[in-house]
Chains A and B, each alone.
Chain A
Amino acid sequence: MSASIAMAESSRSGAHALLDGAQTAWDMLSEEQMQKPITTGCEELDTILGGGIQCKAVTEIGGIPGIGKTQLGIQLAVNVQIPVQYGGLGGKAVYIDTEGSFMVERAHQIIEGCIADLFEKFEHRKQSLVCPYILQPNSFLANIFYFRVCSYTEQIAAVNYLEKFLEEHKDIIVVDSITFHFRRDFDDLAMRTRVLGGMSSKLMRFTKKHNLAVVLLNQVTTKFVDGSFQLTLALGDSWSHACTNRIILYWNGNERHAYIDKSPSLRSASAPFQVTSKGIRNVTSNCKRVRMM
């Protein structure tokens, strides 16, 4: 008698747990509309993204070497920290570096560029909105939490450990790149797919539970399709289902472009962007590149 009551209760609490996590579509809409996206620094790119990188979603960004993936990753880790009074999220960033491409001097440069642009934009408001000490490069640097991962084991361990680490408020996780350690060392491709699947579902859970954005940078590889080689993002077909949104950075003539390859809510579109000494910015109309000082 008591056993069956216990079983009935546990099944009811199980059902409650599932129902507790559910929302009506209307609630989700209100939430989505209130959720501020993270600006990329380039207005045109923000526009095709619906304002910027969405929180509560996993976005994959891929491209050939040198196109600007790491630049965009660092820019997002900086822009998420723009204070609320300046129109940002006032958040913190986790940066998981698997390749050693994060150069802290470049992050410092991008932060200085971001602060300079914010001051310029809000110059007409004479009263200072935020105490100056918050807009120091060092405080931005202090809010980027960096993990240097040297093998796929460490990568899996870091994602698992984030479960605990994220209990303190964070707003974006950038993984640069998700691919590096998984393209070698794995002889059993089926197992690789399962491990990657586990990792991606965990990351997706983080976005919902902690209300943050996950940005995964990916490399490219070639695929033989329809009689010719084509570029495609690495890790195979089953991985391509793991992310909510996919953006491909590519060269269009002499300009860098971003293309929305896959998204449940955004239209396929392309926007030009530029990598300057200040970071990711719009393409200037007179096409004069900013020279490095």
Chain B
Amino acid sequence: MSNKLISQMGLPSSLANVFSARNILTAKDALSLPEFDLMALLDVDRDQVRTAVARISEIACPPCRTALSLMEDRALTGGYLPTRLLGLDRALRGGIPFGALTELVGPSGIGKTQFCLKLALLAALPSSYGGLNGRVIYMDTESKFHSTRLIEIGRSSFPHIFNSEGMAQEMAGRIIVLRPASLDELTERENERSTTGQKQHSCHLPLSFLKSLAEFSQIPIVVTNQVRSQNNYEVVHYPFQGNTDRTSCMLEKLESHLIASLGIQWAHAVTIRLIFEAHSGQRFIKISKSPTSPAIAFPFLVKSSGIALLSDEGLEVTGSEMSTIRCEGLNVLVEGAEPFPHLGC
């Protein structure tokens, strides 16, 4: 929309010529400038600029839809990929939603990849077995995809499907595994602004691409994220909260010593965040950010059939605990963690 050409917008030709003479060719060029700057640049009076900008805006503006029509569309496409974990599906009102970005974050070795493998299978399954009968693109940046494990999960969870002739090949054949070597390869875009090189910019290239992709094609997109340690300067409060007890501040900082990577901007951008963490001798999947669910944590195990919840009821989580990531009592940060963690807790 922002790249629409002004020459094709039906402006009076004299005005259109002035725009192109000053190298203002797309809607983006015109609307990035304040009105006053446009007047000065084009040397036309205010009324003409206003009419032109109004016309450009009308065309560049996305179409208006009522929430009712959105709802009707949603009813047609189905809307969710059920995870087959009853408690989680119930809390998420169906499962992983279409058209939105779902993030799985947690320390390495905790079970995110296992979850992803199961989801990939569920999406590929025929609809008669509760799947989406679709194809899956699996972007494996850390070389963690093991097809042996995938087949094992399939055989364990759906023996009647996978043991029949050729089905394993069919299902596995629907999953395409891509191994991009770098961020640029992922987005296939030359980084013209490589000189600015700020971390925030590079983080958003795949982000807006992923979000637009999810919405226009109405498919579920799941991303996994790593964690990093929180340093002592990690901020907790607003200025008006200034008089909090210093000791309780320190305690908060010591306890929650892991946070998700990519910072607060990324955290704003994802629609759903599922935190995988470990404490009290168990592993938990915690719904940390979701428009339809309060924060609930479900204890889980990794089995040969993938992830299994130990309880469908889940524990309510409140306050700042919703966004903390705990990793206690589980030796998951060790180098070279085993690829098939058949761990019981």
Residues of A within 8 A of B (CB): 64-66, 70-71, 95, 99-101, 103-109, 138, 141-154, 156-158, 160-161, 163-165, 177, 180, 183-185, 187, 191, 194-195, 197-198, 219-222, 225, 228-232, 248, 250-251, 253-255, 259, 261, 268, 275-277, 289-292
Are B64 and A145 neighbours in the complex by a CB distance under 8 Å? Answer: yes
Q: A191-B32, A291-B316 are in contact. List 6 more A-B contacts (CB 8 A).
A: A64-B323, A153-B27, A160-B61, A164-B58, A222-B235, A259-B240
Could you list some 27 contacts between A and B, CB below 8 A? A64-B323, A65-B268, A100-B99, A106-B291, A141-B70, A145-B64, A145-B66, A146-B64, A149-B62, A150-B212, A158-B61, A160-B61, A184-B204, A219-B265, A219-B268, A222-B235, A225-B239, A228-B235, A229-B234, A230-B238, A231-B235, A248-B240, A251-B319, A254-B321, A261-B240, A276-B294, A292-B296
Are A183 and B65 neighbours in the complex by a CB distance under 8 Å? Answer: no
Cβ of B85 to closest chain A Cβ, rounded Å: 15
Cβ of B263 to closest chain A Cβ, rounded Å: 9
CA distance A276 to B204 in the complex (A): 32
Segment with Cβ contacts to A, from B90-98, B133-141, B149-157, B334-342:
B90-98
Residues of B within 8 A of A153 (CB): 1-2, 27-28, 31-32, 60
CA distance A197 to B235 in the complex (A): 29
Asked if B100 is an interface residue, CB under 8 A from chain A, the answer is yes
Residues of A within 8 A of B70 (CB): 104, 141, 146
Are A154 and B238 neighbours in the complex by a CB distance under 8 Å? Answer: no
Residues of A within 8 A of B97 (CB): 103
In-complex Cβ contact of A177 among B60, B193, B204, B268 (8 A): B268
Are A231 and B238 neighbours in the complex by a CB distance under 8 Å? Answer: yes
Cβ of A154 to closest chain B Cβ, rounded Å: 5
In-complex Cβ contact of B292 among A105, A146, A221 (8 A): A105
Asked if B233 is an interface residue, CB under 8 A from chain A, the answer is yes
Residues of A within 8 A of B212 (CB): 150
Are B233 and A254 neighbours in the complex by a CB distance under 8 Å? Answer: no
Interface residues of B in 255-310 (CB under 8 A from A): 264-265, 267-269, 271, 273, 288-289, 291-294, 296
Cβ of B295 to closest chain A Cβ, rounded Å: 8
Known A65-B267, A148-B62, A183-B265; judge A154-B239 contact (CB<8 A): no
Asked if B23 is an interface residue, CB under 8 A from chain A, the answer is no
Interface residues of B in 63-99 (CB under 8 A from A): 63-68, 70-71, 74, 79, 90-91, 93, 97, 99
Are A66 and B289 neighbours in the complex by a CB distance under 8 Å? Answer: yes
Residues of A within 8 A of B319 (CB): 251, 253-255
Residues of B within 8 A of A146 (CB): 64-67, 70
CA distance A95 to B293 in the complex (A): 22
CA distance A293 to B31 in the complex (A): 46
Cβ of A257 to closest chain B Cβ, rounded Å: 10
Are A160 and B53 neighbours in the complex by a CB distance under 8 Å? Answer: yes
Residues of A within 8 A of B293 (CB): 292
Are A184 and B201 neighbours in the complex by a CB distance under 8 Å? Answer: yes
Residues of B within 8 A of A253 (CB): 319
CA distance A250 to B71 in the complex (A): 31
Asked if B187 is an interface residue, CB under 8 A from chain A, the answer is no
Known A105-B93, A230-B235, A253-B319; judge A157-B61 contact (CB<8 A): yes
In-complex Cβ contact of B215 among A100, A104, A165, A180 (8 A): A100
Known A65-B267, A104-B74; judge A184-B196 contact (CB<8 A): no
Interface residues of B in 194-211 (CB under 8 A from A): 196, 200-201, 204, 208, 211
Are A198 and B269 neighbours in the complex by a CB distance under 8 Å? Answer: no
Are B200 and A160 neighbours in the complex by a CB distance under 8 Å? Answer: no
Known A104-B71, A104-B74, A141-B66; judge A248-B238 contact (CB<8 A): yes
Asked if B18 is an interface residue, CB under 8 A from chain A, the answer is no
Cβ of A96 to closest chain B Cβ, rounded Å: 9
Asked if B318 is an interface residue, CB under 8 A from chain A, the answer is yes
Are B200 and A184 neighbours in the complex by a CB distance under 8 Å? Answer: yes
Q: Can you name the residue of chain B whose Cβ is closest to the Cβ of A66?
A: B289
CA distance A148 to B63 in the complex (A): 8
Known A95-B67, A104-B74, A230-B239; judge A109-B57 contact (CB<8 A): no
In-complex Cβ contact of B57 among A70, A156, A197, A222 (8 A): A156
Cβ of A240 to closest chain B Cβ, rounded Å: 12
CA distance A19 to B239 in the complex (A): 41
Are A99 and B62 neighbours in the complex by a CB distance under 8 Å? Answer: no
Residues of B within 8 A of A100 (CB): 99-101, 211, 214-215, 271
Asked if B160 is an interface residue, CB under 8 A from chain A, the answer is no
Cβ of B182 to closest chain A Cβ, rounded Å: 20
Are A292 and B32 neighbours in the complex by a CB distance under 8 Å? Answer: no
Residues of B within 8 A of A222 (CB): 235, 264
Are B61 and A161 neighbours in the complex by a CB distance under 8 Å? Answer: yes
Are A141 and B2 neighbours in the complex by a CB distance under 8 Å? Answer: no
Cβ of B265 to closest chain A Cβ, rounded Å: 6
CA distance A123 to B288 in the complex (A): 37
Residues of A within 8 A of B288 (CB): 66
Are A160 and B316 neighbours in the complex by a CB distance under 8 Å? Answer: no
Most B-side CB within 10 Å, residue of A251, A268, A290: A251
Asked if B34 is an interface residue, CB under 8 A from chain A, the answer is yes
Are A64 and B264 neighbours in the complex by a CB distance under 8 Å? Answer: yes
Residues of A within 8 A of B101 (CB): 100
Residues of B within 8 A of A183 (CB): 200, 265
Q: Can you name the residue of chain B whose Cβ is closest to the Cβ of A197?
A: B34
Asked if B56 is an interface residue, CB under 8 A from chain A, the answer is yes
Cβ of B83 to closest chain A Cβ, rounded Å: 16
